[in-house]
Amino acid sequence: MKQKRVGKKVLEALTNDQIVHLLDEVFTLSGTQETETLLSNLPADIAGPLSEILRPGKATSKKIVSDKKHLEKWRKLWRRWADIESRLGDEDGDYVAQEHDWEAPYFDGSALAEDMEGIAKEMLPLLEKTYALGKEEDDLFEEAIFILEKGIKSYPEWMGAEYGDSCHLESTVTECLLRWRWLASNSALTFLNEVVRFEDELELMELDRGAITDFFLDLPEEDRRKIYEHITEHQDDGEWCGRLDSPHSEWHQIHHALAKMFDPDAHLDACRRMLEKNWRYGLPLIKELLKKKDHAGAEKMCEQTVASFFKDGRRREEKMWRPEGSLLIAAPMYTGTSVEVVRLLKDWIGMTKKLGMATRTAALSFQLVTYQTPHKWDKVKKAVQQTDLSQVSHLIEEWQMFAVDVSLRYGLSHDNMPSDCWVKWLTDAGLDETKGRPWFSGKLKKWLTALGKDAKKFKNEARLVHTLTQDLADISDLGKSHPCLLEATEVSEGEKRNISSRRAWLGKMGAQQLVPPLVGCWRKHVVGMLPDPKHADQSRYEDHALWLDLVRELDPASFEKILDQWREAHKRRRNLWKALERRGMR
């Protein structure tokens, strides 16, 4: 009995590193017979891993751990999960966010999902062995997530935790749940039904749709076939019909992908049926028509496909979109270049050339350039020079208005976006060699003269003035001579996409010579642009200090008068005077 207690005494007496050193020495000194005797006297759960360590066969990267050690790590992870559960419901806890002091706090589902994801990433490699040990229930993950939902419901109603999907679970948490349920299921259909049931029962949490799709499409082929046949058989039933109706539903995506694997004709039928809801469904239809050498049919399908892209599946147009009608970059859902759309436009151009559709070929060629590189003005100019756009000249004008919109950050739907302004004149001068530099300089000088005479016009067109100021500062020494002016007109980082082209074209037009009249406009109107401290937001005066500093830079005499007035009118605004002091003004 005394010998049995040696291990515990050693554990209490030595550090882990010392115990490791001790064991290394013991097994170095032990012979084969002593080792065999030791292994025979140990429980299987200790002897098995120890045998692998002492008598390794083939080299393996697999970590050797006993079942108890494995379960110890697994349960430690679940204790961390339980700690998350215990923190839910606390109004001042980790899962409550507040943007500003004056705004109400709210439940932060993304923070909860992030913490769960971190634990799940450590659980996933342990999951299959844990299930095989048979120490956990089949509904382990489902019950754990339901408990989390209960915790979310414990927040006060005014925090909004119970409205909508409060927490979108990330991919690894979803995969853990799916893999555990798959191990617990006796068939693919049982698994499918259990996942659907669980997803329907969730109230405040949502599984990761991409993870569900990937998991089902990665199942063994025979299981995928059974799932496809089951969904197809019930696709007109009420519940399944609703799940399959939206192209964004993971069940629709799973069924559609499985149809491509097991029933190509049904897959193409679904593409035709869903084309208006998802433009990408046109791509396999075009491919099929080209395989049949039906170029006319494929060309028509290209038109329908890009029309769906243009509509973004959100509304119906009385007239179908045509490449001769308007630019793709004018589509409400345009956010950037898609490789698939570029490839589609290139293929479409090839079809129209074979069919002898010259005007459409020209329109599509311009569509391709403006879609691929809308902010590279030189490439657009080259396309205008090389392509006969006489039948679709309005597309050039539409690109020009796109350039105005991006330059001035109005947004394509902005009703007050100017159609006749210096950015438009710049593109006119650059595209039309009969106008060029003299014409542009004359237009800009006339505009600046009008601005200098009209304070209201200067204020109303401030966005145009600010953008021009920043651009001229980049191609001249304006920023060095007037640093406050540069700071006051700085544009946000969010919209600088065509700056390099615009400024390069300004340089070609000799716009640097217009710096003096521009500064003259600012000097005349800067006092009128100065914000009143009475209207400060939350006692923040940084802008007031900046603009007063700009008055000092452009109109020193007015600056002294205003400063004297502020000393009397705003002497109690301590934060204002702190802001002025930071800029060297008192």
Q: What is the pLDDT of residue 166?
A: 73
For residue 319, pLDDT over 90 is answered with no
Please indicate, yes or no, whether residues 10 and 102 belong to a single structural domain of this protein. no
| Short-list 76, 142, 84, CA closest to 113 | 84
Domain boundary among 342, 363, 392: 392
Q: What is the pLDDT of residue 412?
A: 44
Mean pLDDT, range 99-124, rounded to an integer: 89
Note the pTM of the prediction, 2 decimals. 0.71
Residue 128 lies in a domain: yes
Does an H or E element contain 205, and which?
Answer: strand 205-206
Per-residue confidence band for 56, with pLDDT thresholds at 50, 70 and 90: low
Per-residue confidence band for 497, with pLDDT thresholds at 50, 70 and 90: low
For residue 142, pLDDT over 90 is answered with yes
Please indicate, yes or no, whether residues 32 and 69 belong to a single structural domain of this protein. no
For residue 318, pLDDT over 50 is answered with no
Residue 468 lies in a domain: no
Please indicate, yes or no, whether residues 182 and 102 belong to a single structural domain of this protein. yes
Residue 138 lies in a domain: yes
Structure-token match 């909860």, residue found: 112
Of the two residues 66 and 431, the one the predictor is more confident about is 431
Looking at residue 333, what DSSP letter applies? Answer: T
Please indicate, yes or no, whether residues 44 and 150 belong to a single structural domain of this protein. no
- Residue 541 belongs to what domain range? 530-586
Q: What is the pLDDT of residue 313?
A: 44
Please indicate, yes or no, whether residues 79 and 205 belong to a single structural domain of this protein. yes
Please indicate, yes or no, whether residues 38 and 91 belong to a single structural domain of this protein. no
Mean pLDDT, range 556-565, rounded to an integer: 94
pLDDT digits (tens, 9 = 90+) for 345-370: 999 999 999 999 999 999 999 999 99
Number of domains in the chain: 4
Q: CB 54: neighbour CB atoms within 10 A?
A: 14
Q: What is the pLDDT of residue 413?
A: 46
Q: Is 2 helix (H, G, I), strand (E, B) or coil?
A: coil
Residue 458 lies in a domain: no
Please indicate, yes or no, whether residues 50 and 78 belong to a single structural domain of this protein. no
Please indicate, yes or no, whether residues 45 and 72 belong to a single structural domain of this protein. no
Give the span between the Cα atoms of 117 and 92, in whole angstroms: 22
Pairing assessment for the beta strands 106-107 and 96-97 based on DSSP bridges? antiparallel
Residue 248 lies in a domain: no
Please indicate, yes or no, whether residues 209 and 130 belong to a single structural domain of this protein. yes
Residue 357 lies in a domain: yes
Please indicate, yes or no, whether residues 204 and 311 belong to a single structural domain of this protein. no
Contact of 271 with 244, CB cutoff 8 Å: no
Comparing 143-152, 242-251, 403-412, the range with the smallest average pLDDT is 403-412
Domain boundary among 336, 360, 392: 392
What are the backbone dihedrals phi and psi of residue 140, each rounded to the nearest 5 degrees, phi first? Answer: -50, -55
Give the span between the Cα atoms of 430 and 505, in whole angstroms: 7
Domain boundary among 54, 79, 95: 54
For residue 241, pLDDT over 80 is answered with yes
Per-residue confidence band for 495, with pLDDT thresholds at 50, 70 and 90: low
Mean pLDDT taken over the chain = 87
For residue 52, pLDDT over 90 is answered with no
| Short-list 307, 306, 325, CA closest to 393 | 325
Residue 483 lies in a domain: no
Per-residue confidence band for 77, with pLDDT thresholds at 50, 70 and 90: very high
Please indicate, yes or no, whether residues 290 and 385 belong to a single structural domain of this protein. yes
Residue 41 lies in a domain: yes
pLDDT digits (tens, 9 = 90+) for 438-491: 999 999 999 999 999 999 999 999 999 999 999 999 999 999 999 999 999 987
Please indicate, yes or no, whether residues 117 and 206 belong to a single structural domain of this protein. yes
3-state helix, strand, coil in the chain (%, to 5): 70, 0, 30
Q: What is the pLDDT of residue 54?
A: 65
